[in-house]
Structure 1
Amino acid sequence: MASTRERTAWSTSGYLMLLVFLALAFLLILRVVTFAGTEPSDSQVAGFLGSIVLLPLALVLIAKGFYMIQPNQAAAITLFGAYRGTDRQPGLRWVWPWMGKIRISVRANNIVSEKLKVNDLRGNPIEIASNVVWRVSDTAQALFDVDDYKAFVVVQIESAVRSIGSRYPYDDIEHQEVTLRGSHDQVNAELREELNSRLAVAGITVDDCGLTHLAYAPEIAGAMLRRQQAEAVISARKKLVEGAVTMVEMALTQLSEKNVVELDDERRATMVSNLMVVLCGEREAQPVLNTGTLYQ
């Protein structure tokens, strides 16, 4: 399919042509008034008949060439179905009366997509929706290369969101890979790039986009919540044990370096066990006072 590219159309200021229109209207009125107050000859009658035919025809043709363009609006100019260019100059404009004018907005548009059910990278069903800010950047492509560019945008947004949703996992408790929930900037940037690639054929540019809804599908939401809780507990326990081992190692090292107490292997193991219980326990430890010796 041949791609249509926008180009600048010829047009002129409508205010200048409005002055011409008013001048011709005044001339027509003057001719009628002058003719009515005289006894014309045959040549004057012929001239009058010619003027009252030609001047109204000229007025009609000039009037048909007027059109208005508002800020951030454009008009595609056609000649018997052939594209002749686009006029983006705001205000009152004028082109030849046999030219067609198709107005199109180039303002920013905002679309919030429907909630879609998609399987993420791991096969989990999720619900996902996005917000997209788009605008027409090439009026010729939007009008002549696709049938309905607004419907085209809606369909391509749905396709792009489905593609992005299936490209990444919903979540990763260990934060070792890109996820839909944890990597918003990267996912949004990739979604925008995907949309611009898909909408380029329609002359549409996406200025901003982002996910507005992201959740597990209702049928697995409860199970995935319990899984997240379990993974969070495991991760917290892992960090707690790592910290406790470091603290125990530090305590034993400092006791040895400062010669606070000499411990054999058995008592060292007992101290390590007690410290680990105190540091890793969920409840506060109850101290036990030893009134004897260290080995009793």
Structure 2
Amino acid sequence: MEKEKNVSAFNGYFILLAVLVLIAGGIAGIALTNKVAFITLDVLAVFLLPGFFIVQPNGSKVLVLFGSYKGTVRANGFYWANPFYSKQSISLRARNFDSERVKVNDKVGNPILINVILVWRVKDTFKAAFEVDHYEEFVRVQTDAAVRKLAGSYPYDNFDDDQSEITLRSGMDEVNTALEDEITERLAMAGIEVMEARIGYLAYAEEIAQAMLKRQQATAIVAARFKIVEGAVGMVEMAIEELDKKTDIQLDADKKAAMVSNLMVVLCGDKEATPVVNTGTLYN
């Protein structure tokens, strides 16, 4: 497979000076001698004009002669080359691509909205010019395909703490690395270098967004309740042990059960408890 080859072109200023000399010589020759033959100098000058071209900083010109690739000029400046060369401009600057939000299904079938932010640039001008049609459109389509494949490889989220599977929402570093590798592989044939690829937007599709929000809230509530109950049990256990150690109060099983019940209600309730003062004895 042919690859890019860098070539140099003639300094454009020297050739421009020669063109001006030819034009001046042709005009002066006709004026002084009245010989039409001097017009050939002007014709030659006009023939040389299409050979001039400018390469902007971080730009390039791909030179092709009658379907044969002759090389790429990368150095910026004012140049001249064979007037029969066709000259295709290809920018070497880094570019941003913010893809459209696409609706796809994640690994477990939930519809989600996702888009990707891609930073890329042309690395091989021969591949960009001749291996694919319209390399910019190629970047767009292949990036979209890579995003769809990535979304189908991971679930959006895990709702159980004991699940350690990488998800789109929680495993951003791993997911972005996988996305960058996938896009790099797809764009290599077009001579494109992927500088960075990451997920820019991620959300459930509108039709299930409310249901998934309620599920997330329920999961959070259950997790919070679990921690509250766990802490309350430890506090009740500590309270009973401290009463046994530091007081002479002897509680039978029924009284311990009543105290545990009251403490659990106080510690686990959503609202502040209303105390009831017992003015009698412990057993009345």
Q: TM-score, normalised by structure 1?
A: 0.85
CA distance in 2, matches of 1:252, 1:160: 61
CA distance in 1, matches of 2:249, 2:122: 80
* Count of aligned pairs: 281
Secondary structure, counterpart of 1:73 in structure 2: coil
Question: 8 Å contact 2:27–2:39 — kept in the other structure?
Answer: no
Question: 8 Å contact 2:3–2:126 — kept in the other structure?
Answer: yes
Greater shift in the superposed pair: 156-165 or 96-105 = 96-105
CA distance in 1, matches of 2:6, 2:138: 25
CA distance in 2, matches of 1:78, 1:18: 22
Is 1:184 paired with 2:172? yes
Greater shift in the superposed pair: 157-166 or 186-195 = 186-195
Question: 8 Å contact 1:9–1:77 — kept in the other structure?
Answer: no
* C-alpha RMSD of matched pairs (Å): 2.3
Residue 238 of structure 1: CA displacement? 1.1
Instruction: Report the residue type matching 1:12 in the other structure.
Output: F
Question: 8 Å contact 1:171–1:182 — kept in the other structure?
Answer: yes
CA distance in 2, matches of 1:135, 1:56: 42
Greater shift in the superposed pair: 27-36 or 88-97 = 27-36
Secondary structure, counterpart of 2:141 in structure 1: helix
Greater shift in the superposed pair: 118-127 or 175-184 = 175-184
Give the counterpart of 1:110 among 96, 104, 111.
96
The percent identity for this pair of structures is 47
Matches within 5 A, 1:1-150: 2=1, 4-36=2-34, 49=37, 51-53=38-40, 55-150=41-136
Give deviations 1:24-61, integer Å, cap 9, x for gaps: 2232233233324xxxxxxxx6xx72x432x2343133
CA distance in 1, matches of 2:152, 2:241: 51
Question: 8 Å contact 2:98–2:117 — kept in the other structure?
Answer: yes
CA distance in 1, matches of 2:234, 2:138: 60
Give the counterpart of 1:162 among 123, 135, 148.
148
Secondary structure, counterpart of 1:158 in structure 2: helix
Matches within 5 A, 1:241-280: 241-257=229-245, 259-264=246-251, 266=253, 267-280=255-268
- Give the unaligned 5+ runs of structure 1: 37-44
CA distance in 2, matches of 1:159, 1:208: 17
Secondary structure, counterpart of 2:277 in structure 1: coil
CA distance in 1, matches of 2:259, 2:74: 83
CA distance in 1, matches of 2:150, 2:242: 54
Residue 261 of structure 1: CA displacement? 4.7
